[in-house]
Chains A and B, each alone.
Chain A
Amino acid sequence: MFYFGLFLDYLKQYLKTKMAYRLDLLNEIVSDFIFQAVNLVFILVVFQHTSLINGWSREEIIFIYGFFLVPYALFTTFFNLWDFQERYIIKGEMDRILTRPAHNLFQVMLENLNPESLAGAVTGMIIMGYASYQMGLSFAWYDPVIFIVLVLSGVLLYGGVYTGIAAIGFYSDSKTGIAPMIFNIQNYGRYPVDIYNNVIRFVLTWILPFAFVGVYPAAYFLGRNELQLYVWLTPVMGILFFLVGLFVWNQGVKNYRGAGS
């Protein structure tokens, strides 16, 4: 309850600062939207030249992309840890965080809340809606619940991976360039992993399991029974990776000595 109250307070504060620069907010949402549209354009144009990619149809691939956008939007809203090292370690803001009586990761997350990214989830839902209408998919009454579980698993998975990466900042005081690299790998997860070679497929499934935020959970709604095992693994992987990320973070905090000044 205490944490939820904190969350609301931070959110209120955030909205106040954002409302002072309304045009910025609009700008950000519009450019996010263009970004999402570009990926969609890619899919649409490619499918003008072929009807199936490795057995996946246009609508299926669009659906996977739409699904991916939802956990991704939630993830960027809450885990906006891109400048963690710069802001908290190098500039020393972490010291301030550690003197306060709420969990440090939670505070860092709240200070970097980015609710305008949620617009991406709406785009994702629209894209999924369009694709499932085109395919004539039917949904059971419990599917929304499963959808929420799978989405949250994806958010936890992403969150875990990036929390772990941000925690590297505790050990190194210079930039490592790992985060942009992981971010690029993440883009692979948007397409069915069976188009890649075995090594990449293995990495995307078990090591940096970004496929669990795109193809695998989406396969459930697409009725792809051959991937059923992976669908049910999604929550397991999400919780597992989040716990690992949290563990690495906590170890990092223990190890943290401050960057001086």
Chain B
Amino acid sequence: MLSMYLEMIRIRFLMMLAYRVNYYSGILVYSINIGAYYFLWNAIYAGQPTLGGLTPLQMTSYVAVSWMARAFYFNNIDREMAMEIKDGKVAIEMIRPYNYLAVKMMQALGEGMFRLFFFSVPGMVIVSFFFPIVFPSDWTSWAVYSVSLMFSFIINTEINLITGVLAFFFLNNDGIMRAKRVIVDLFSGLILPISFYPDWARAILEYLPFQAIGYLPGLIFTGAIEGEALQHALLVQLIWSIVLLLPLYLLWIQAKKTLVVQGG
């Protein structure tokens, strides 16, 4: 059973490998984005020692690592699911002897691992030539960051699965998917660390799952949180990755009932 899912990861990884040329330009795109925000933030700091609890150096590292982490956790499985639902392929997927959602998750993981090795890691190296970036100093910090990054992948993928399953009900969920993408980018702290928001907004954002995708791992990487706060951050991530299973599961049960395949 497990080996079957591992095979899914492997196949997707190999599939991505076959089309790797697309990724060279991707690294450039991300570097350009990081550069844009680097200069923007420099101008915003303008000599102030800290803003929102981050020093300029931590901010640069935060921006760089957030974008590169995004390359890992970002995936289009919601779009793929919507496609399969639209053209009826989902019917075949559902009679196959595996769990459709689990398969999608594994495919996302294969894709994410490919991007981690061929995109995020080389991208981070390239970016560190151009901009000052602090890396975690010891192996335990790297290990903690990896755990945290894994959680961001799980949480983001669960959110993607939820938006994907919605296609069962709406048939066309392009708008929802686009809106979700923008909202995740904004509220996860990719564009703006959560600590920059005014208090009332922060109070709301801290109760949403999005900050667990980008902001918390970013803080861990830059060393902006330590000790108890770090444990708390990991706990929040763990809780969200479990809690999100519930709406996903309920929607999935309902989706199986409402599924209508036209033609096929």
Q: Which residues of A contact B (CB under 8 A)?
A: 21, 23-24, 26-28, 30-31, 34-35, 38, 41-42, 45-46, 48-50, 52-54, 174-178, 180-181, 184-185, 187-188, 191, 195-197, 200
Contact = CB atoms under 8 A, between A and B. Distances in A.
B46 A50 contact: yes
Contacts of A53: 40, 43-44, 46
Given A174-B21, A187-B33, 6 more contacts: A21-B172, A24-B175, A27-B174, A50-B45, A177-B22, A181-B29
A23 B172 contact: yes
Interface of A is mostly: helix
A42 B192 contact: yes
13 contacts: A27-B174, A27-B175, A35-B178, A41-B192, A45-B192, A45-B196, A45-B197, A49-B48, A53-B44, A175-B22, A178-B25, A180-B29, A184-B29
A181 B28 contact: yes
Contacts of B185: 38
A116 B175 CA distance: 13
B227 interface: no
A44 B21 CA distance: 38
A184 B196 contact: no
B36 interface: yes
Contacts, number: 91
Interface string B165-183: 0000000101110110011
A35 B40 contact: no
Contact of B172 (A24, A50, A174): A24
Contacts of A175: 22
B39 A197 contact: yes
B25 A31 contact: no
B32 A49 contact: no
A38 B188 CA distance: 12
B25 A188 contact: no
B198 interface: yes
Contact of B175 (A31, A38, A48, A176): A31
Contacts of A28: 174-175
A35 B174 contact: no
B42 interface: yes
Given A24-B175, A54-B46, A176-B25, A42 B39 contact: no
A45 B175 contact: no
A57 B22 CA distance: 39
A195 B39 contact: yes
Among A26, A31, A42, the most chain B Cβ lie within 10 Å of the Cβ of A31
B88 interface: no
A189 to B, nearest CB: 10
Contacts of B197: 45
B39 A184 contact: no
A46 B44 contact: yes
A83 B21 CA distance: 18
Contacts of A54: 43, 46
B186 A41 contact: yes
A197 to B, nearest CB: 7
Nearest to B51: A49
B36 A188 contact: yes
A46 B192 contact: yes
Nearest to B41: A46
Contacts of B196: 45-46, 48-49
Contact of A200 (B28, B39, B52, B182): B39
A34 B182 contact: yes
A45 B193 CA distance: 10
B191 interface: yes
